[in-house]
Amino acid sequence: MTRVAVLKGGRSLERQVSLKSGARVEDALERLGHELFAIDVGGDLVERLQIERPELAFVALHGRDGEDGTVQELLDAMGIPYTGSGVSACIRAADKVLAKHAMRDGGIPTPDFFAFNETAFKELGAARALPAIEQRLRFPIVVKPAGQGSALGIKFARTAADVPSALVAAFSYDRKVLLERHIPGRDLAVSIVEQARLPMTLPIVEAVPNEEDFYDFESRYEIGRTTFVCPAQLPEGVAERASALALEVFALLGCSGFARVDLMLDSEKGELFVLEADTIPGLTETSLLPQAADAAGISFDELVGLMLHAAAAQG
C-alpha cells in the first residue's frame, strides 16, 4: 500500500476536466488498496503536502501549472515522486510552438506553421505579414493558443476574413499563438504507457465528430458529440507508422510514464502529421487514453496501477 496524493482541479481553464480525471483516479486507487488523499490544488499546496507527507503524487492536473512543469518542479524540490513526465518534458510539450520546432528540427512531420506573441502584433506590425503567411499556409488555417490543451481556444479560419477574430480568440487564452496549416483527414491519437521502463503504444483511437467538421473542446468532452473508434480501422501499415512516430515524439520530448500523441492522417496523400503531445492526457469517461487501454485489455484500475509503478520506478 502506498500513500498517494491526488493533485487535481487547480486554477487552469481545464479545471473541470481535471476534477473528473482526479475523481476517477481516486476511485481506482481505493479499489487498488492504496491510502490516498485528494488535493484541489491552490495556494496551500506545499503546506498540504508537508502535512500529509505522501510517498507519491498522482498528477491529474490539466493545463497550466499541471502540464507545463510548474507542479513537477515543486514536487522535485520537495523530493516527492510523481506520475508522468518530468519538468523539461512538460515544458517542451506544453508549449505547442516549442514542441513543433523540436519536431521539425528532428525530422518528424508536423503541419507547416508560424507563431507570434502579442509583442509581434502590438509593436512589430506582424498583422501586415498576415497575407504572406496566409499565402504560405493556404486556407483553411488552424489558429490556436500556444499553451492550452483540450482543444481550448482553437479556431478554424476558412478565409482571410476569419483570421482576425480567430487571433483575438486565441490571444484571449495565451500571449503566444500558432497559425498552422490544416490537414484534411482523420484525427488519430496514439497513447503510450511505460511498462518496465519501456514505452509501449496502445491501440489507436480515431475521433470522428458527429456534426461539426472540426474537433473542438465541446466535441472532445461532451458525450455524444464525437464517435470514438478504437482500434481505428486504418489502411495497411498506417497504424505501425503512426505508432512509430508517436514513440519518436515521446523520446524526442523526453517524456516518461505515459503520454498521448495526436496526429492527422492526410486524406489525399495518406501522409501522417504530428500535431502535438500531451504529457497528462485526460482520464475521464470520454478521454482517449483510457479508451485505448481498454481496447488493449487493460482496465482503468490496471492503467492507474501502471502509472503508479512507473512513477515509483522513476523515483
What CATH number did the domain enclosing 265 receive? 3.30.470.20
pLDDT of 217 reads 43
pLDDT, tens digit (0-9, with 9 covering 90-100), for 251-262? 999 999 999 999
pLDDT of 286 reads 85
Residue ranges making up the domain that contains 157: 113-181
Report the domain count for the chain: 3
Mean pLDDT of the chain: 89
Burial of 264 (0-12, 13-18, 19+ CB in 10 A): buried
pLDDT, tens digit (0-9, with 9 covering 90-100), for 19-55? 999 999 999 999 999 999 999 999 899 999 999 999 9
* Same-domain status, 96 and 208: yes
* Same-domain status, 42 and 104: no
* Same-domain status, 235 and 96: yes
Residue that is last in its domain, among 127, 153, 181: 181
Structure-block grid coordinates of residue 251: 523520446
Overall size of the chain counted in residues: 315
| pLDDT band (50, 70, 90) for residue 8 | very high
* Same-domain status, 37 and 117: no
pLDDT, tens digit (0-9, with 9 covering 90-100), for 262-295? 999 998 889 999 999 999 999 998 899 999 999 9
Q: Is the pLDDT of residue 214 over 60?
A: no
pLDDT, tens digit (0-9, with 9 covering 90-100), for 69-89? 999 999 999 999 999 999 999
Domain CATH number, residue 68: 3.40.50.20
pLDDT of 221 reads 44
* Same-domain status, 70 and 153: no
The answer to whether the beta carbons of residues 6 and 39 sit under 8 Å apart is: yes
Burial of 151 (0-12, 13-18, 19+ CB in 10 A): middle
Q: Is the pLDDT of residue 164 over 90?
A: no
Domain CATH number, residue 117: 3.30.1490.20
Angstrom distance (rounded) from CA 215 to CA 140? 14
| pLDDT band (50, 70, 90) for residue 150 | low
pLDDT, tens digit (0-9, with 9 covering 90-100), for 191-212? 999 988 899 999 999 988 776 6
pLDDT of 148 reads 63
